[in-house]
Amino acid sequence: MNGMDPELFEQFIEQLERYVRERLIPAEREVIEADRVPDEIVQEMRDMGLFGLTVPEEYGGAGLNTSQYARVVKTMAYAAPAYRSIFSINVGMFNSAIKNGGTEAQKTEWWPRIAAGEIACFGLTEPGSGSDSAAMATTARPDPSGNGWILNGTKRYITNAPHAAVGLIMARTEKEALPKNAHVSAFIVPMDTPGVTVGSPDHKMGQSGSHIADVILEDVHVPGEALLGGETGKGFVFAMKSLDNGRISVGAAATGYARRALDSALRYATERKAFGEPIANFQLIQQMLAESETEIYAAECMMTDVTARADRGENILRKAAAFKVFASEMCGRVVDRVVQIYGGAGYLAEYDAERFFRDARIYRIYEGTTQILQLQIAKHMLRDFAAQA
């Protein structure tokens, strides 16, 4: 994918960096206290085209390639995580699934709406299943009255569910688990469809302003056109392909947020004095700063590589998982060092270090936990080795 003209894209990134520093960061306190991104900022993000970053231009989007999209996410992630969260499901998950598996009619209907700023959610995880699709309980059965499907089940921890206009819902269309998860299909479900109920937003450890909630489906009737790709048994494949982009998004976000935390620690270390001099002069403080800089740089290099591979059309499942694992774990180590550099102040809510620590913890969990992704990486390593033997 060629993406946006490189010179034009660099101009956009410069504008976005100013917007992050001059508009989004000053508004963070309001986001945290109100636990929501102000409506006017969401509208500004719509006007900037952030909800349709990778939607093709002919459908109203910006037409960014994966490398450009990841840079936008990393830039936005320098500010509070809620800002990225509100548009990232649209771009990294919903739009990717439509691109990979949607019919022309589905692209024509949904891409312009997504690009215009309708918020999407992605319904895979359930109370009893996450990565284990064989245990998925949500069902989709043919509507006996004619064309269409009836969905029943509950989805859990669904980001943006309280605000979403549409959801991509995974449901089993076969009772028995089938090879390659062919028992799972994907459905495009407007959230105002009768029978769809969204629970109250869950209270979380961090990431104020970003909301997750249950989605309950009770005899939800959708037309046949709601089946992604018009074919059963492909839903999990589409979901996994879109998860590659979702994992790149999380990795980019973790990398951007680690940079924000490290910049904060640098500022604090040069201002805070002990024994008559800035603590930045102490070698063990410098060690923590240097280790953090080294790890962020490594994550940035991984991001550049995996997104370039995606733009060349390579299978990036293993590389995207590796990037997400490294970047999310790296961010956890960086924010832990930042708290340590702040010392006692790092444990106080009035300082940013405490918030960075709480916000960063989820990066190691969603879009595939570190442990699940390690299993996935190893499985594909062993499969590739066996194929070469």
List residues with catalytic annotation. Answer: 367
Tell me the CA end-to-end span of the chain in Å, nearest whole number.
34
Burial of 58 (0-12, 13-18, 19+ CB in 10 A): exposed
Q: What is the DSSP letter of 129?
A: B
Distance CA 128, CA 60 (A): 38
Are the beta carbons of 63 and 3 closer than 8 angstroms?
yes
3 state SS of 356? helix
Phi, psi torsion values for 23, nearest 5 degrees: -115, -50
Are the beta carbons of 17 and 75 closer than 8 angstroms?
yes
Exposure string for 249-283, b = 16+ CB within 10 A, e = fewer: bbbbbbbbbbbbbbebbbebbeeeeeeeeebbeee
Instruction: Give the number of other CB atoms < 10 A from CB of residue 378.
Output: 11
Are the beta carbons of 304 and 231 closer than 8 angstroms?
no
3 state SS of 215? strand
Q: Which of 306, 342, 307, 302 is nearest to 326 (CA)?
A: 302
Q: Which of 61, 51, 169, 63 is nearest to 118 (CA)?
A: 51
DSSP assignment of 255-298: HHHHHHHHHHHHHHHHH-EETTEEGGGSHHHHHHHHHHHHHHHH
3 state SS of 349? coil
Looking up tokens 């442990």 gives 371
